[in-house]
Structure 1
Amino acid sequence: MPSLFDPVNYGSIEAKNRIVLAPLTRARNTKEAVPTDIMVKYYADRASIGLIISEAVGINRAALGWPYGPGIWNQKQVDAWKPITKAVHEKGGKIVCQLWHMGRAVHSQVTGTQPLSASATKYPGQLHVYGGKADSEIAHPLSVQEIKSIVEDYATAAKNAIAAGFDGVQIHAANGYLIHQFLGDSTNLRTDEYGGSLENKTRLVKEVVAAITDAIGPERTGIRFSPNGEDQGVSIANPEPIYLDIIKFLNERKVAFVGLRESNPTSNFSRSDQPKLGNKFHEHFNGRLILNQDYTREEAIKTVEEGNADAISFGRPTIANPDIVEKFKRNIPLVEWANEIKYWYIPGTVGYTEPPPSAETN
């Protein structure tokens, strides 16, 4: 019977425990999407976690619309990631780079270009820009040639990640971003080879997976999904056939791991009454399965012990608890920062590598 604290491999990546750092956008990079020095400490402080999944990292300029988010499309960015991955490795940790294209969920004030998506749809509501928020814009529907170029950019970004010292990559195919937009009924209105049928809607994710596994090997490749309910305006009326088809392809490509953000009827981040698909992934996917969404320590231990997942990822609790593994082992209550949310996406060390003012503990 496996334990949450036992070693596990994700393809070629050997992790010392089954706790995973979920990708957390923290916005401590430069406007040019270059990682900064304070990120070295942030990631190294969490190296006791079995596998670190980096914050989402843009594959090109048009892909990255989060103010002060990171990129991996040029040499300056690659060089800036190197001391971060080195620091994690020196502390015995493993880290993969989450590759991100936000699709329509960007604003031209940040990217400098019109948002891109499967079809000419619009993100629901406002988007983050420098200094605040702005109303979303209608997306440019990608041409087939533009799609092929983006697939190439994914492969280049994966190779750049390995050059930067990452142990592998995770493809971000969740949370209402570009790949998810191609899967969605509400966002993919195309009538060409990328729209309409199940086969066509899954074409982009399969092409990206194929390009990346060819570029760096399937043993260093993972992918993330959020298959339940509506996510940032992207909805799939009947997700099970879509994801079973994708799983079959992932198995053919020998992809090492899948991260799954499950639905939760009470969550503020992924509220849905739609049935979870974790059991379907567990039944059909041949690689490692990482589950995520508001797991408690006890739920995580039970889920792994019962064999329903290979690992559990934690996001928000790790912000104030870089030592979450030791606290879970010893059953020590986690620290809570009272005004944590205020400091998620602003520059500086406060709320990042040091507690915010008036931080509280339990």
Structure 2
Amino acid sequence: MTHAPESAALLEPTRLGPLDLPNRLVMAPLTRNRAGADGVPGDLMVTYYAQRASAGLIIAEATTPNATGQTYPDIPGLHTEAQVAGWRRVTDAVRSAGGRMFVQLQHGGRVGHPDTSGLVPVAPSPIPLPETIHTPTGRQPSVTPREMSLDDIRATVADFATAARNARAAGFEGVEVHAANGHLLHQFLAANTNRRTDGYGGSVAGRVRFAVEVVRAVAEAIGQDRVGLRISPRNTVNGIAEGETEELYPALVDALSDLELGYLHVVSADADDALYQELAKRWPGTLMANPNLGWGGPLPADGGRAAGERLLAAGADVIALGRAFIANPDLVARLRLGAPLNPLRDGQLMYVGGPTGYTDYPTLAA
């Protein structure tokens, strides 16, 4: 597959699914823990996303498709009428500011706690998260998740499809299915968290089955060009050990290649990595690359622009950046002008709630 031409630049317009984008710079989904305890987006989230509407596309933060899938406190959802209405306020504000939004649908699987959701988390196999987890009362030992039955699997697939329809009702242009970072779909992909012996485990074909069924159900619900898929090959966060990674992801990509999805989003992309190159070759549609800037390391002075331009030159179509957008609501303008970027403040401000480190970063015009 030939993707973006070598001359493509980060700030040039492009097309993604049904959308004309004014630039190739995407705001990556970023968990910020600013929704209410009921998962309803509030005024702070309206302000935060509207501030960043100049991105070619905003992918809103990880949002749960059902109550069981909630990961941490104050995470938004898309499974109640109030949550849909709250998100509609966000998308209306972004659209009024000239922006476009997808939303990421994420089920936490074993990354959850009864003190947060009121429910025992579920997972492909009853293997607990090997670390403590943040809850409304602080960090607590993780609990052993309940192994999903076939009925649970079917119901969860249906919940993703319903959440996708809710996303469209809330004003989102489309959704990104999260199969990365150690959450439920990634747990099905990984050998150490999926020890099933039925059709959803064992072989590579079995382990990719759940992710394929979720993506296909979501595509059927809202149209395939309004659906993206996010993957993070070799990512070990949340206790993941995939096994057979070099076979796993080509199999997943091949199983979805006929759908003509809106995009494939590859986390920590490296143009020199053989697996990334193989996935890019196999993927027939838009390729979104999230540059490998070092997991948790310092943010480059250019926010990741140079890394993004290299990925575009190697064939990616659009570039997703995260932390640079946290610190710079007007990132597009700063990159266009060559202006210095705001430094990212204490990383813990990402998750503590309130406006500090969220809506109070200055713009060039301030």
Scaled by the length of structure 1, the TM-score of the pair is 0.92
Deviation at residue 186 of structure 1 after TM alignment? 0.5
Distance 1:317 1:131 in 2: 30
8 Å contact from structure 1 (residues 108, 114) kept in 2 = yes
Structure 1 residue aligned with 2:118: 112
Deviation string, structure 1 residues 303-331 (Cα, Å, up to 9, x no partner): 21x14211111111211101111111122
1:276 Cα deviation (Å)?
A: 5.7
- Secondary structure at the aligned position of 1:62 is classed as helix
2:29 maps to amino acid: P
Secondary structure in structure 2 of the residue aligned to 1:202: helix
Aligned residue number for residue 300 of structure 2: none
Q: Does 1:166 align with 2:164?
A: no
Determine whether 1:220 maps to 2:218.
no
1:153 aligns with 2:151: no
Is contact 2:350-2:357 (8 Å) kept?
Answer: yes
Alignment of 1:1-362 (within 5 A): 1-262=7-268, 275=273, 277-292=275-290, 293-294=292-293, 296-304=304-312, 306-339=313-346, 341-355=347-361
CA distance in 2 between counterparts of 1:228 and 1:195 reads 19
Correspondence for 1:268: none
SS in 2 for 1:335: coil
* Aligned residue type for 1:298: A
One-letter identity of the residue aligned with 2:285: G
* d(CA) in 2 for partners of 1:245, 1:111: 33
Contact 1:281 1:289 in 2 (8 A): no
SS across alignment from 1:232:
helix
Asked if 2 retains the 8 angstrom alpha-carbon contact of 1:115 and 1:139, the reply is: yes
Letter in 2 for 1:165: G
The aligned counterpart of 1:267 is none
Shift of residue 275, structure 1, vs aligned partner? 4.8
Tell which deviates more after alignment, 292-301 or 97-106: 292-301
Is the Cα–Cα contact under 8 Å of residues 232 and 266 in structure 2 kept in the other structure? yes
Unpaired runs of 5+ residues, structure 2, are 1-6, 294-302
Q: Residues 104-129 of structure 1: CA distance to partner in whole angstroms, max 9, x if unpaired?
A: 01111101111110001011211110
Q: Displacement of 1:240 after TM fit?
A: 2.1
Distance in 2 (CA, whole Å) between partners of 1:301 and 1:262 is 14
Provide Cα deviations, 1:230-282, integer angstroms capped at 9, x if missing partner: 23211122212211111112221111101111268xxxxxxxxx956321221
Aligned partners of 2:263, 2:237: CA distance in 1, in Å? 22
Return closer, same or farther for 1:298/1:82 CA change in 2, 3 Å cut-off: same
CA distance in 2, matches of 1:248, 1:179: 17
CA distance in 2, matches of 1:54, 1:141: 29
Contact kept in structure 2, 1:278 and 1:291, CA below 8 Å:
no
Distance (Å, rounded) in 2 between the aligned partners of 1:336 and 1:287:
34
Query: Retained in 2: the 8 A contact 1:279–1:308?
Result: no
- Opposite residue 146 of structure 2, the aligned amino acid is H
> Could you tell me which residue of structure 2 aligns to residue 269 of structure 1?
none
* 316-325 or 155-164: bigger deviation: 316-325
TM-score (ref. length: structure 2): 0.91
Structure 1 gaps, min length 5: 265-273, 357-362
